[in-house]
Structure 1
Amino acid sequence: MSSKERANHKTSEMLGFFMLDRYLSFKAFYFNLEKIDDMTHIMTVLTNPITDQPDVSFLNPVRNEFERLSKTNKQYAN
Structure 2
Amino acid sequence: SIWAQETPVDVTNGIDARLIEAEAAFQSGNYGTATTGTLAILNALRGSAQTIGTVTTPVMAALADPGTDSARVSQLFR
Taking structure 1 as the reference length, the TM-score comes to 0.26
Greater strand fraction, Structure 1 or Structure 2 = 1
Taking structure 2 as the reference length, the TM-score comes to 0.26
Greater helix fraction, Structure 1 or Structure 2 = 1
Instruction: Name the larger-Rg structure.
Output: 1
